[in-house]
Chain A
Amino acid sequence: MAGSIDVSGMGDQIQAEMQVKQFRDFLIQYNKLSESCFNDCVWDFTSRSVRGNEDNCAMNCVEKYTKVTQRISERFQELQMLMNENAASAAQKLGKLPMA
């Protein structure tokens, strides 16, 4: 999750700042995820410790969430590429772009 962007070409200071920002984004995501999985999985307050089924639910919740975000990002990228291609070809048809 962290360190997925290539920052090797930048100055040390900027690189460190970006890494801290990425780390911050990751931590916020972590907080949101544990909140959401807690809300969805823990309903029983007759005991103080997490039960087996609650733990199971929460761990599945985490794993599924990462899979869902990954899939959404894939579909989003596909759509974005398609939109860009459409826009480019439309612009070409209108003669606004010179043929390469």
Chain B
Amino acid sequence: MAGLPALNEDQMKLVQDLEIEMMSDMYTRMTNSCHKKCIPTKYKDSEIGKGEAVCIDRCVAKYWEIHERVGKKLQKMSTQDEEALKKLAAEQGLVK
């Protein structure tokens, strides 16, 4: 998240590609998860049932929400880590 230096054009392209790659990776994972959660493996019918359709819609919404919450949580944890390190460094600076 943080810590990337000022980027030139090539590097900007790299980061943009990265974003696309991550989005498609996340999309694949979401597809597999929601398929597993919403579609029984009996396959009596080739059509998506009404209940299945509703389940899929909600599953996608919830997956997004969890993904974002997890990202925020990770960010929060890493800033907490950094602050703890800074504090430790400051204390050691005082001792010396």
Contacts and interface: CB of A to CB of B under 8 A. Distances in A.
Interface string A13-52: 0011001100110011011111101110111011111100
B-side interface mostly: helix
B69 A30 contact: no
A37 B21 CA distance: 21
A19 B70 contact: no
Contacts, number: 100
Contact of A38 (B22, B58, B67, B77): B67
B89 interface: no
A35 B78 CA distance: 20
A2 interface: yes
Interface string B1-44: 11111010001001100100110011001100100111000000
Contact of A30 (B11, B63, B71): B71
Interface residues of A, number: 37
Which of B5, B38, B67 is packed against the most chain A CB atoms within 10 Å? Answer: B67
**Chain B interface residue number, banded:** 35 or more
Nearest to B82: A3
B88 interface: no
A94 interface: no
A1 interface: yes
A63 interface: yes
A35 B61 contact: no
Contacts of B2: 2
A40 to B, nearest CB: 10
A50 B68 CA distance: 11
Given A35-B33, A45-B37, A23 B4 contact: yes
10 contacts: A15-B5, A20-B11, A20-B14, A30-B71, A38-B62, A38-B63, A38-B67, A39-B33, A42-B63, A45-B58
Q: Which 5 A-B pairs have the closest CB atoms?
A: A34-B70, A35-B29, A3-B3, A34-B67, A45-B55
